[in-house]
Chains A and B, each alone.
Chain A
Amino acid sequence: MAKPKIALYWCSSCGGCEESVIDLAEDLLTIAAIADIVFWPIAIDSKYKDVAAMNDGEITATLINGAIRMDEQEQMAKILRRKSKLLIAHGSCAHLGGVAGLANFYKAEDVLNRAYKEVPTVRNPQGILPKVKTIESGREVRLPFFHDTVKSLDQIVDIDYYIPGCPPTPELIKEAIMMVLEDGLPPRGSILAEKKALCDTCPRRDGRPDKLKIKAFKRLHETEWDPARCFLDQGIICLGPATRGGCSARCINANMPCRGCFGPIDNVRDQGAKSLSFLTSIIDSKDEEELKKIADSIPDPAGLFYRYSLASSMLRGRQ
């Protein structure tokens, strides 16, 4: 019997998800022994036309990381959807829009101007912006079209499974690939991680007081924080109570609070709204003026609560 085929692709992403696959280390050899990796632009030499030449459904599973911002990514997502039995959104950007999705607080025009004209390290006196078509030495050169908004992968194509995280842990990726190869997948649409919130499995859980009360939110640089005590108990914002677990508490173990990259738990539609809801419920004040001051101690609240999920949130971006 022919070996099952696996493909990996990246869209609007930072490369961290690719790195998380490389971090499988020796396990990659295990996977390569039982499956053929047929397409993986960062690591193997296969071309778009090779994918286009495949039969529909020929690939057993494709992992796509990154959000969708450009039409080339959209086309590749659609082609890979056709060629794959299973399409898996890999990482926060594919799953929820991720950090790339924060661009939805700005217009496409502002993003391009910032990147190509205003950034201090850019020298562009002619103010040239990328164009879809350019004539260069008599030849037409094409660039992908830059869409108005960033989208999560499931806003473009149907997704069978999600591996959350920025990036996902190698353990989760390995588990997901082994589930595919050994036919042990949960119901379609599942998020392949913990069901409970990170807070429930937090290594600092035991020392957490029953009732958390916060008078002011402190930023990390404003305080010296105890490496064993619950962050919230120290007045440091941690989104663990409103974030899916399964990340092995990597940030917590590195003494950094959770920022929500594993997305919301099941049945929550808007991670940002839920994060806001839990965080404000532990504010210890009943005075309107004091509450305003405490609210002001959260810089960029929308950017905090929606850091990984803006593109897939209810409002999806600036109205």
Chain B
Amino acid sequence: MNGFEPKIVGFLCNWCSYEGADSAGRARKEYPANLRVVRVLCSGRTDPQFIIEAFKEGADGVMILGCPLGDCHYQDGNFQTLRRYTVLKKVLAQFGIEEDRLRLDWVSANEGDKFVRIVWEMVNGIKKLGPLHQARVENGKT
């Protein structure tokens, strides 16, 4: 896959992961520009409809990043995310969307390094998988 730059949508929780991304920025760490960040108040606010819509609208991968388990600003919002994600991955597989295209991870406000590592891993992983909509584009369908 030559020159394929995946589009990745990341839903980052306001209290930990978005702060973590900010701290990576403040420390001038580099990470790939493939990530489009959507700030949500809690990872638990990431309605499965958002994730499905992201894939429908052309995302090659979706990340949900929340507070580490036990540290949720709303006590157990990230456990709700974990519950949904566990089943959603299985559903997406039935739609032909590979498991690795959806990732859930936990990044706290001071984990800029971890944030950068996760983005690199995600981008490299999706580059290996190739574009999600490749087949449809080749068939001339939208």
On whether the beta carbons of B87 and A318 are closer than 8 Å, the reply is no
Chain A residues with Cβ below 8 Å from B95 are 105, 302, 315, 317-319
Q: How distant is the Cα of A97 from the Cα of B90 in the complex, in angstroms?
A: 22
Q: Hey, what's the 0/1 contact readout for B78-99 against A, CB within 8 Å counting as 1?
A: 0110111011101100111100
> Is residue A41 contacting chain B, with contact meaning CB distance below 8 A?
no
From A18-26, A56-64, A269-277, the one touching the partner chain is A269-277
8 Å CB contact of A291 from B49, B55, B83, B97: B83
Shortest CB distance A257–B (Å)? 17
Q: Which chain B residues in 5-52 approach chain A with CB under 8 Å?
A: 47-49, 51-52
Rank and list the top 7 A-B pairs by shortest CB-CB distance, nearest first: A302-B94, A273-B48, A280-B83, A319-B96, A318-B96, A273-B49, A280-B84
> Is residue B133 contacting chain A, with contact meaning CB distance below 8 A?
yes
On whether the beta carbons of B55 and A315 are closer than 8 Å, the reply is yes
List, sorted by A's number, 20 A–B pairs whose CB atoms are closer than 8 Å. Answer: A269-B49, A270-B52, A272-B91, A273-B47, A273-B51, A274-B49, A276-B87, A276-B88, A277-B49, A285-B83, A286-B69, A291-B83, A295-B87, A298-B90, A301-B91, A302-B91, A314-B49, A315-B55, A318-B96, A319-B135
Chain B residues with Cβ below 8 Å from A283 are 83
SS class of chain B's interface: helix, strand, loop or mixed? Answer: helix
Interface size of B in residues (CB-CB distance below 8 Å): 28
Chain A residues with Cβ below 8 Å from B86 are 280, 288, 291-292, 294-295
A270 touching B49 in the complex, CB below 8 Å, given contacts A298-B87, A315-B56:
yes
A277 touching B94 in the complex, CB below 8 Å, given contacts A314-B53, A319-B133, A319-B136:
no
> Is residue A303 contacting chain B, with contact meaning CB distance below 8 A?
yes
Shortest CB distance B110–A (Å)? 23
> Is residue A281 contacting chain B, with contact meaning CB distance below 8 A?
yes
